[in-house]
Amino acid sequence: MKKASPAPIRPLAQQAVGPAVGGLAIAAFEPGLAIGIACGAYLFSAGCLSAMRVRSAPERTEEERPTALSDLVEAVRYVRRTAWLWATLGFAFVAVFVFVGPFEVLAPFVIADRVGGGSAEYGLLLATFGIGSALGALGISSRPLPRRYLTVMLAFWGGGTLPLIFMGISSELWILCAALFVVGLSDAVGMVIWGTLLQRRVPDALRGRVSSLDFFISLALLPASMALAGPAGEAFGLSAVFLVAGIVPVGAAVVALWLGRLRTDELAHPLV
């Protein structure tokens, strides 16, 4: 039986409600107050965490306690011999690099230079992305995963970035919002499938190690992506940068499917 997923809650709060409230707070008051609201939210979260009571795991001896390096080595060995993992992580390595920098760094310039808007319009743009994420997560979580789950996951992740092209060529806010709605929806569908695969296809003893490696590989180029987005926009223009951000993940998804022979793998390992 497919378990219910809380996935829609996080994108709705983090990527829809948060940006909308932040943009309105900056537009109506001042940045300092918006930062103060964010600080208050962190304090509230810290209070919730401190109120949690968890059962401690049995204490292990020094001989039984693994080191961070040994955990990492074990995770790398498992991923290296598991085609669907290394192929998907390789895709994420490329896609994060070409997507996150333009999205995080250059989107405000699109709003300011092309749309002529400010913080409220930018908050609306991010909120639309979050609403798409919430609906995508809700849709894929409310039904059994598709038989071709790896193909569908990479199709949504790869093809879902194509609307980013409009970020570089359109000056209409509604078109930009529609584009990011599709990007957010596609990203969430892939994320829910990926999270389900980590739970269903990775052994319990290795799940934490593989998840840590997933975060490391996926975010390894994040600082470089954000650092290079601005200079790339200056040198080549917003249109060229968002064209690359929209097209490259499509090619990376095709390569991952082919190199990892994922279409054969998903049929050999049905999620039933």
Tens-digit pLDDT profile for residues 78-115: 999 999 999 999 999 999 999 989 998 999 999 999 89
| Alpha helices (runs of H) in the chain, residue ranges in sequence order | 9-12, 18-28, 31-51, 68-80, 83-101, 107-109, 119-141, 149-159, 165-169, 173-201, 204-219, 222-236, 238-259, 262-268
CA distances 46 to 11, 34, 50, 52, 118, Å, are 20, 19, 6, 10, 31
Residue ranges per structural domain of the chain: 9-39+68-268
Average the pLDDT over 188-198 and give the result: 91
The Cβ of residue 10 has, within 10 Å, a number of other Cβ atoms equal to 15
pLDDT at residue 131 is higher than 60: yes
**What residue type is assigned to position 199 of the chain?**
Q
With 0-12 CB in 10 A as exposed, 13-18 as middle and 19+ as buried, what is 156? Answer: buried
Which fold would CATH assign to domain 9-39+68-268? Growth Hormone; Chain: A; (1.20.1250)
Distance CA 66, CA 212 (A): 15
User: Which residues, 6+ apart, have CB-to-CB distance to 20 below 8 Å?
Assistant: 123, 124, 126, 127
pLDDT at residue 12 is higher than 60: no
The 8-class DSSP code of residue 13 comes to I
Q: Is the pTM of this model over 0.75?
A: yes
Say if residues 263 and 257 touch (Cβ distance below 8 Å). Answer: yes
Percentage of the chain exceeding pLDDT 70: 85
CA distances 42 to 37, 47, 49, Å, are 9, 9, 10
Mean pLDDT over the full length of the chain = 84
pLDDT of amino acid 5 = 41
pLDDT-based confidence at residue 133 (cuts at 50, 70, 90): confident
pLDDT at residue 58 is higher than 90: no
pLDDT at residue 249 is higher than 80: yes
pLDDT of amino acid 158 = 95
Q: Which two tokens stand for residue 3?
A: 């378990």
Tens-digit pLDDT profile for residues 20-50: 666 666 666 677 777 887 788 888 888 888 8
